[in-house]
């Protein structure tokens, strides 16, 4: 069975057979050399100050549903007594969050934990339950910020996820299965995981992890008791544990949190270029020594990249202090920079390394009526971004009821991600595929927190 990725994070697989010979201290936590003559290391001194900073989050979402498809028809619907818009249904979910500013009551969690909740409550370690206010969410990174008004909160200090190494010991704290605070431990299995299809901006910490639904949004801490990640997803085969979990690095989470606190949303910038991974063949064709980087495939006219002098064929190898090994690294490095800020871009051209400063700008938005692309999209208004390093599909602005676009089940705020399992990020790509495929068109969309497939016959 093919593995599936689920945003339901993670407790960490317990440290087994840990051998300590002569270790008087470990990352600031003093271990006893022996208990009744037998060595017995413990993580308790590290965990105890952190546990009160991890809260349990419960959400409630009210949706309107129709009891029968015929009730959506104006003719049949008039014969049945039903509240306007359908019958109300309440959905509840559980997750975790981390207090990062006790004075202001600021809590970091996952966007998929919060979703479109009508009510958010946080249960503290001492048993208090308080209402939370949503500050902002960023679906592209799966980060959300909420705020509570409560006294005697305790926060966890933020660490530096950039200094993590594979093999570092880590501890996960969260609320798996709604059981309450649970602590598990493991190691960093890998760093910089991308291309998993979980979110738009991926740079995950991979760790050996149990499958613990409800741990999403919880804390991943190092042995100094510092927050180094927000637990967010697990890799599962049919719901069974395979020991692979993912956390958002705290440095990424901090950048997103700062923007959400300041603006209420994330104002991403772009260089106005499109890029691809540097391959061995391209490096040979360019006659350059570097073997990793992002090749500039297109520079949009009038864009920040063009104004800075970037050209097609340039190989970007670094942005500020971030090494660029491919298009994904470039996407993350630029996508987390606020529009209007300056970045230093290092690139290779004709074997010579050069550096330019570029002020990133908000990508240019383009809108189009659906019928201008394909008759099956008539009635929809679509939006795409020009000049992004890696776009996130095409947004559906609005859909007229009973129009062709409505009949193929497109809805406002859907995001078209793929056609025939091929990513689409521009109107040109969308139109080219739709013109070729007249029957059995498979449309991949993101609706809210779910990825869906629509088959158009």
CA atoms of 157 and 395, how far apart (whole Å): 37
CA atoms of 303 and 167, how far apart (whole Å): 42
Separation of CA 337 from chain center: 16
Nearest residue to 224 via CA among 169, 162, 183, 186 = 169
User: Could you say which of 93, 96, 112, 329 is catalytic?
Assistant: 112
Question: Partners of 419 in the beta sheet?
Answer: 422, 443
- The residues, ordered by sequence, that sit 6+ positions from 167 with a Cβ below 8 Å of its Cβ are 187, 188
3-state SS, 373-427, equals: CCHHHCCEEEEEEECCCCCCCEEEEEECCCCHHHHCCCCCCCEEEEECCEECCCH
CA atoms of 454 and 91, how far apart (whole Å): 24
CA atoms of 386 and 429, how far apart (whole Å): 12
| 216 catalytic residue (yes or no) | yes
Question: Partners of 92 in the beta sheet?
Answer: 60
Give the helix ranges, DSSP H, for 5-84. 44-47, 74-77
Give the pair of three-digit tokens for residue 18. 């840990």
Is 245 strand, coil or helix? strand
In the DSSP assignment, the letter for residue 228 is E
Give CA torsion, residues 312, 316, 319, 323, to 10 deg.
Answer: 160
User: Could you say which of 210, 216, 368, 418 is catalytic?
Assistant: 216
CA atoms of 196 and 176, how far apart (whole Å): 23
| 331 catalytic residue (yes or no) | no
Enclosing H/E stretch for 2: none
Question: Partners of 190 in the beta sheet?
Answer: 206
Question: Partners of 123 in the beta sheet?
Answer: 56, 129
| 112 catalytic residue (yes or no) | yes
User: Could you say which of 93, 138, 142, 210 is catalytic?
Assistant: 142
Nearest residue to 203 via CA among 323, 98, 290 = 323
Catalytic residues: 112, 142, 216
């Amino acid at each position: 069975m093919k593995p599936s990725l689920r945003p339901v994070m993670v407790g960490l697989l317990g440290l087994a057979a840990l051998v300590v010979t002569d270790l008087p201290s470990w990352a600031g936590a003093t271990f006893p050399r022996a208990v009744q003559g037998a060595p017995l290391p413990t993580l308790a001194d590290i965990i105890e100050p952190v546990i009160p900073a991890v809260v349990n989050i419960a959400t409630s979402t009210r949706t309107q549903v129709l009891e029968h498809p015929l009730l959506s028809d104006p003719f049949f619907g008039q014969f049945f007594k039903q509240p306007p818009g359908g019958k109300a249904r309440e959905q509840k979910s559980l997750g975790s969050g981390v207090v990062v500013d006790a004075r202001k009551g600021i809590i970091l969690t996952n966007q998929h934990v919060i979703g479109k909740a009508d009510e958010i409550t946080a249960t503290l370690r001492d048993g208090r339950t308080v209402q939370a206010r949503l500050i902002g969410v960023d679906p592209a990174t799966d980060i959300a910020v909420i705020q509570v008004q409560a006294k005697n909160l305790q926060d966890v200090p933020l660490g530096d996820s950039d200094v993590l190494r594979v093999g570092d010991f880590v501890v996960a704290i969260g609320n798996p299965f709604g059981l309450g605070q649970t602590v598990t431990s493991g190691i960093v299995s890998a760093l910089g995981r991308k291309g998993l299809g979980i979110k738009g901006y991926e740079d995950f910490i991979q760790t050996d992890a149990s499958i613990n639904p409800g741990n999403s949004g919880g804390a991943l801490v190092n042995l100094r008791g510092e927050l180094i990640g927000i637990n967010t997803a697990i890799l599962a085969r049919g719901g069974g544990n395979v020991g692979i979990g993912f956390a958002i690095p705290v440095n990424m989470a901090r950048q997103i949190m700062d923007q959400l606190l300041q603006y209420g949303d994330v104002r991403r910038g772009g260089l106005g270029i499109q890029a691809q991974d540097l391959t061995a063949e391209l490096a040979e064709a360019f006659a350059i020594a570097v073997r990793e980087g992002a090749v500039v495939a297109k520079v949009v006219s009038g864009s920040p990249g063009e104004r800075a002098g970037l050209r097609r064929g340039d190989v970007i190898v670094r942005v500020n202090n971030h090494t660029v090994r491919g298009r994904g690294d470039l996407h993350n490095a630029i996508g987390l920079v606020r529009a209007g800020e300056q970045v230093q871009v290092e690139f290779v051209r004709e074997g010579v390394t050069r550096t330019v400063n570029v002020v990133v700008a908000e990508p240019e938005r383009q809108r189009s009526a659906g019928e201008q692309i394909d008759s099956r999209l008539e009635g929809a208004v679509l939006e795409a971004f020009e000049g992004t390093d890696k776009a996130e599909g095409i947004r559906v602005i609005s859909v007229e009821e009973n129009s062709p676009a409505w009949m193929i089940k497109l809805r406002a705020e859907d995001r078209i991600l793929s056609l025939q399992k091929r990513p689409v990020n521009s109107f040109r790509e969308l139109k080219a595929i739709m013109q070729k495929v007249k029957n059995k068109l498979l449309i991949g969309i993101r609706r809210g927190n779910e990825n869906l497939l629509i088959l158009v016959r």
